[in-house]
Amino acid sequence: MTGLWAISTAGFLATAMTYGPARMGFGLFLGEFRSDFSLSTGMAGLISTLGFSGFLVGLLVAYALLARRGPRWPVTLGLGAATAGFALVALAPNAVVLAAGVLLAMASAGFSWAPFNDAAHRVIADQDRPRALSLVSTGTSVGVAAAGLTALALHMLGLSWRLGWAGFALAGALATLVNAFDLGGEAARPGPRPDRRLAELVHRAAWPIYGVAASYGTVSAIWISFAADRVQQAGGLPGLAPAAAPGVVFLAYGIFGLSGALTGWLHERLGLPRLLYALQATAALSVGLVALAPAMWSAVLLSAGLQGAHVMMTSAALSFWTERLYPDAPSRGFTAALLAVAAGSAFGPAAAGYLSQAAGGGAMFLTTAALPAITLLLLIRATIRERPVAD
C-alpha cells in the first residue's frame, strides 16, 4: 500500500472510531443513560466534561509520545483506550463505571489525530497532502453516521444499548490492528522534541487560530452532548418514538459531515478568511435551530447537517491552517490548536448542563449560539495569516 493510501486508511479508521462513537457516543445514548443510571442534566454535563478533559490530557501525552516514539505509539494507545472504554461502558453496572468508560473512550480522540499530520508530512507529496488530511478528517463523519445508525437499529429491533457498545469495542480493536500495521517505516519516525521553538506557538499570527479553536470546541461539545437529548426531551420528532430521535440526529450529522471532504476545494476557491466566516455563521444557525424548534423535522435535520458540516470543515481547516503556519513541525501547531479546542470542550458541557437545569434547554442553546456569532465578528476584525510564523 502506498504512503498516501496507507496513511489515509489508517487515519480514516482512527478518526472514525475515536471522533465517532468514542467522542459522540455519550450524547447519542444519553437518554438511555439517564434512565438506567438516574442521571440529571447537571451530572450528564459533568460526565461529558470529564470525557472532554480526558481528550485534553490525551493531546499532551500524545505529543510527548510522538516526539519520542513516532506516530504509531500514540495512535495505537488511543485506539486501545477507545476499545477499553467501549467495553467498560457496555458492562457498566453504575454511573461511576460509566463515567470511567466515557473518560477512556473520549480521551482516545486526543491521541489519534495530530500524529497523522506528522506522518503525512513525511511520506506524502505536498500536492497530495490536503487530500490525505481531508480523508483522515472525513473518517469522523462515517464513524458518527455508523454510530447513529447503530443506535437507530438497536431501538427498532428492541435491543439493548449495551450490544451497540460491545460492537464499538470490536470495531475499535480492528482499527487498532490496522493502525499498528500501517503506521510503520518512515511514517513511524519520531517527531521534533516538544521543547524546541515553542515561542512560535504564541506568535501573534497564531492568535486567531486559538480563538476559533476554543469557540469551536465549546460549541461542538455542547451540541454533541445535549442536542439529541434536547430533541428527545421535547417529545422527539413527529411520527417517530422519542427514543429513536438521537439515532436520526447523529445519522444526519454524520452524513452531512461528509462535506468535510470538500474543505480543501472550498479553501482554494473562497480563501481561508471567507471559509472561516461561513463556518462560524453555520455553527450559530445550527445551535439556534435546535434551541427554537427541537420537535420539527426540517429544523432538527438542518441543525444536525449544519453542525456536522461545521465540525468536519472546521477541523480540516485548522489542520490546513496549522500545517502551513508551522511547515517544519505541523503536529506541534495542530496540537496547540487542538489544546484550545479541548479547553473549550472541557468547559462547555458542565456549564451548559447547569445552565440548562437552571434556565431550560432553549435558553442554554441560545446562549451557546451567541458564541460563534461573536467569534465571527472578531474574525472579521482580525488578520488571518497562512504564511509560516517565522516570516
155 inside domain: yes
Kindly give, in sequence order, each residue whose CB lies less than 8 Å from that of residue 364, ignoring residues fewer than 6 positions away: 222, 226, 291, 352, 355, 356
43 inside domain: yes
- How far does Cα 110 stand from its chain's mean position? 9
386 inside domain: no
Q: pLDDT tens-digit profile of 197-240?
A: 555 666 666 778 889 999 999 999 999 999 999 999 999 999 99
73 inside domain: yes
61 inside domain: yes
For residue 193, pLDDT over 70 is answered with no
Q: pLDDT tens-digit profile of 76-105?
A: 999 999 999 999 999 999 999 999 999 999
For residue 72, pLDDT over 90 is answered with no
Residue type, 32: E
172 inside domain: yes
Q: Supply the CATH number for residue 231's domain.
A: 1.20.1250.20
Rounded average pLDDT over 235-264 = 91
Q: Which domain holds residue 16?
A: 3-381
Q: Tell me which long-range contacts 377-382 makes (C-beta under 8 A, separation of at least 24).
A: 378/211, 379/208, 379/211, 379/212, 379/273, 379/276, 379/277, 379/280, 380/277, 382/207, 382/208, 382/211
193 inside domain: yes
297 inside domain: yes
Q: How many domains does the chain have?
A: 1
